[in-house]
Structure 1
Amino acid sequence: MFMMFAMTSDSIGEIIKEVKVAFDVTNAQASLMHSLPMLGIALSGLLLGFLADKLGRKTTIILGLSLFALACYSFLIANDFVFIVSLMSLSGIAVGIFKTGALALIGDISSSNKQHTATMNGAEAFFGVGAIIGPLIVAWLIHQGVAWQYLYVIAGGMCTLLIIVAAFVRYPSYKHQHHDSVKKVSLKHSLALVKNPYALGFSMGAFLYVAAESAIYVWMPSYLVCDATTLKATYDCYADGAARQLAIYSVTAFFILRALGRFVGIWMMSRLNWALVLMLFSGAIVICFGVGLAGGKQLALYLFPLTGIFMSVIYPTFNSKGISCFPKHQHGSVAGVILFFTAAGAAAGPLIMGLVSDAMGGDAKYGFMVATGFATLLFIGLLYNYLCDPTAKRLTEIEVRDYGVSTSQSASR
């Protein structure tokens, strides 16, 4: 599910390039293809996240996948810009539904908080794989003279298979353990979680992380070109041929490193102190951004894609630890709150960077300065988290109650 979603969402840059020509739309209009699906995910996560707790994981996942499949297959008849944007918005709503169900399900199949974090990194690793192959599929389709819409048809086929699997797989039961609590699950209770310090803290961390990460895949190509004033991107300022190739495929390099890092994160997060890893990795991101800006394009060419390694485990761990701070019957609602802030960061971050860059003459360097600010705030928050460990007691209590782990076992982990 995560890979299928990433195949479509992270191909948006390639798709926008084709849509602008086919429908003669402006940059602002084309940007709706990114911002409206993100808005759909955000609102769906916040307003419908409670469905995973109210209706159950299985029903919620199948509902979300069904809506996503409907949107995907409808691209076969999508020949109007407004219709295309509407379908993308519907797919965003669907993602918010099935992803909160999936995130809640991870808690049901985990036997401890550490296993939960490792599993979450595994799921997000497949998201990283989808982010790599999605744009490649679009590029191949266009090269073969096939409409980009068939990417969604492919995703729809995968989605249909996932619906069949989801319908027949046996799911862990959690309702019987929290029957009275499940009755109380509602939109009102879901919205109240926004004020909870644990949900809000991890959600703000997710917002800052995604805002900083989006600078890489949205603005790095603009920063690395040699002459941004020309209509055609040039890479003549890189003397070495390998450097020029890296500049052209820098975003792909970032996604590959991020995916590899998440697979390594499955091992890392089951053995190491998560707070220490996140603090060190966020600090490395700040260093890469800062040195890349100070040293110019020649250094940024290597340091910006390298952040994929350091970014790899941050978001899955935020998701895992944020969800793990709450009992299982609230996992869907909490996942929805974190997803709301995630999508908000993905929408607001690039927009703020673009506005700042435009105000400073159009140089993407200034947008990366904003991104460095987001990364610095993230590091400060994670430094506080490591030094003060404000979630330790909460995570231990939940682990003992929901996972049946003794206090001594939890402390040793």
Structure 2
Amino acid sequence: MSRVCCPAIASGAAVVSLLCYAVVLVITPACNNELSRDYGLSYVQLGQLSLATMLGFFLTVIPAGIFADRWGKLLPMTFGCFSMASGCGIFALANGFGWLVLGAALFGIGGGLSEANSMALLADLYEGSKRSAAMNLAQAMFGIGAVIAPFGIGWILHLGGGWRSGYYGAGLVCFVGMLINMTALLRHREPRLPKHEHRSNPIAIATDSSVLVLAISIFLYVGAEIGQSTWLSVYFKRYLGASSSLAASSPSFLWLGIGIGRLLAAVALRVVHEAPLVRTCLAFAALCQAVLVISRAPASGGIAAFCLGLFLGPIFPTIVSRANAVHPIATGSVSSIVMAAGSLGAAVFPPFIGLTAEVWGLRQALWVCFGLLCVNFVLVLLVRDTDTP
């Protein structure tokens, strides 16, 4: 089969890959209460599952980006969906904590192969404000996937089913995603630089002051986002008195807000500059984070989580879009470097919150997320607009 340039097919593959990664990223936090019960896991061990995912992502994402700049994005995206489907199978069949760690690591490896390359592929297909809009729309699909997973787990638990069924369903989603990426790989011809023109230097890109500022911002942002998302179901059950099914569904409130926020940002970016949008969103996200931590009931907590997500939503894709604009000839490397910084934030802060919760309690530990958002706001407020989104 001869390949031609098919932006619609390639965009669809990118969107589906993001949805798959969202499903596997959020399904385990939704099951934290059940995993803790069935395997006797502590806060620290639950945090280690998040750490395994993000270490897998971190170790994979930069090599995948370098490979993608030379050979194309769709091949690693296809293998990424396969890795995530495999991790789902391991979770569904796991009989010990070690197997859970392996499954979580495969989620991260799959995400490292898929997420940055999906965003880079969109950066190759669109330019200027259309790029930011396309990335916000694609990340809105990420938000949809992150809503489906915990809502599905909550529904299964409400019907009296077991949490393992959710992993079987997630594995099926990732398998379909792999088939869609394979179709795009066979039909879409990606533009690639000849070897003698390929000058992507990850070290030079990572030390570029503009990229460095954006990477630090992503590090802080993802630390807060995943830090809260990882512990939301536990917080709802143990501190807000929610039922098991409602607690499992609680991450949906956050991610529904994130998805809607990204859809609204895709429209707003037609008339609003990226820098003030990111600053405004960070300020209101910090406020909502504080309200969530002091909430005392599932209703108020759910509203606060949704509003938190609404303001968190536009930040990530807008920053990634700006980073790709800095080095448009090496979108794979740029996206992977910035997202590697994000994976470090997600690797460090959820386990740190779990460790802190063992000592002072989860409610107090979640103030870490508030602090990260405040520091991020100061960062993007103080640096020059040329160095920020």
TM bucket by the smaller chain? 0.7 to 0.9
- In structure 1, how many angstroms separate the alpha carbons of the residues matched to 2:227 and 2:39? 27
Distance 1:66 1:12, change over 3 A: closer
- In structure 1, how many angstroms separate the alpha carbons of the residues matched to 2:158 and 2:295? 34
After superposition, the C-alpha distances for 1:271-308 in whole angstroms (9 at most, x for unaligned) are 32111111122122233345667x76589745454222
- In structure 1, how many angstroms separate the alpha carbons of the residues matched to 2:233 and 2:100? 26
CA positional deviation for 1:192:
4.5
Q: In the alignment, does 2:363 pair up with 1:364?
A: yes
CA positional deviation for 1:84:
2.8
After superposition, the C-alpha distances for 1:192-216 in whole angstroms (9 at most, x for unaligned) are 4322222221111011112222353
Match of 1:89 among 102, 105, 127: 105
Q: Is the 8 A contact 1:61 1:98 kept in 2?
A: yes
- In structure 2, how many angstroms separate the alpha carbons of the residues matched to 1:290 and 1:75? 34
What corresponds to 1:200 in structure 2?
212
Q: Is the 8 A contact 1:108 1:172 kept in 2?
A: no
- In structure 2, how many angstroms separate the alpha carbons of the residues matched to 1:65 and 1:248? 24
Identity across aligned pairs (percent)? 23
What corresponds to 1:260 in structure 2?
260
- In structure 2, how many angstroms separate the alpha carbons of the residues matched to 1:204 and 1:313? 17
What corresponds to 1:106 in structure 2?
122
What corresponds to 2:59 in structure 1?
43
Secondary structure in 2 matching 1:234: coil
- In structure 2, how many angstroms separate the alpha carbons of the residues matched to 1:92 and 1:252? 20
What corresponds to 1:140 in structure 2?
155
Q: In the alignment, does 2:174 pair up with 1:174?
A: no
Secondary structure in 2 matching 1:271: coil
CA positional deviation for 1:172:
4.9
CA positional deviation for 1:77:
4.2
What corresponds to 2:48 in structure 1?
32
* Contiguous gaps of at least 5 residues in structure 1: 236-244, 396-413
What corresponds to 2:285 in structure 1?
285
Q: Is the 8 A contact 2:30 2:150 kept in 1?
A: yes
What corresponds to 2:223 in structure 1?
211
Counterpart residue type for residue 385 of structure 2: D
- In structure 1, how many angstroms separate the alpha carbons of the residues matched to 2:268 and 2:231? 30
After superposition, the C-alpha distances for 1:214-257 in whole angstroms (9 at most, x for unaligned) are 353345566678x85xxxx537xxxxxxxxx9999764333222
What corresponds to 1:121 in structure 2?
136
* Contiguous gaps of at least 5 residues in structure 2: 1-16
Range that drifts further, 205-214 or 120-129: 205-214
What corresponds to 1:130 in structure 2?
145
Q: Is the 8 A contact 2:87 2:102 kept in 1?
A: no
Distance 1:152 1:119, change over 3 A: same
CA RMSD, aligned part only?
A: 3.1
When the two structures are aligned, how many residues end up with a matched partner?
A: 367
Distance 1:161 1:206, change over 3 A: same
- In structure 2, how many angstroms separate the alpha carbons of the residues matched to 1:246 and 1:91? 25
What corresponds to 1:378 in structure 2?
376
Q: In the alignment, does 2:321 pair up with 1:320?
A: yes
- In structure 1, how many angstroms separate the alpha carbons of the residues matched to 2:107 and 2:247? 32
- In structure 1, how many angstroms separate the alpha carbons of the residues matched to 2:319 and 2:169? 31
Which is greater in Rg?
1
1:33-72 to structure 2, matched below 5 A, reads 33-72=49-88
Distance 1:86 1:210, change over 3 A: same
What corresponds to 1:18 in structure 2?
34
Q: Is the 8 A contact 2:31 2:163 kept in 1?
A: yes
Q: Is the 8 A contact 1:211 1:371 kept in 2?
A: yes
Counterpart residue type for residue 234 of structure 1: G
- In structure 1, how many angstroms separate the alpha carbons of the residues matched to 2:259 and 2:117? 23
Q: Give the TM-score taking structure 2 as reference length.
A: 0.82
CA positional deviation for 1:313:
0.2
Counterpart residue type for residue 335 of structure 1: S
1:240-259 to structure 2, matched below 5 A, reads 251-259=251-259
Q: Is the 8 A contact 1:118 1:269 kept in 2?
A: yes
What corresponds to 1:389 in structure 2?
385
Distance 1:220 1:280, change over 3 A: same
- In structure 2, how many angstroms separate the alpha carbons of the residues matched to 1:325 and 1:15? 39
Q: Is the 8 A contact 1:104 1:335 kept in 2?
A: yes
Distance 1:73 1:221, change over 3 A: closer
Counterpart residue type for residue 75 of structure 2: T
CA positional deviation for 1:118:
0.6
Secondary structure in 1 matching 2:386: coil
After superposition, the C-alpha distances for 1:84-123 in whole angstroms (9 at most, x for unaligned) are 321221221122012222121111211x221111111111
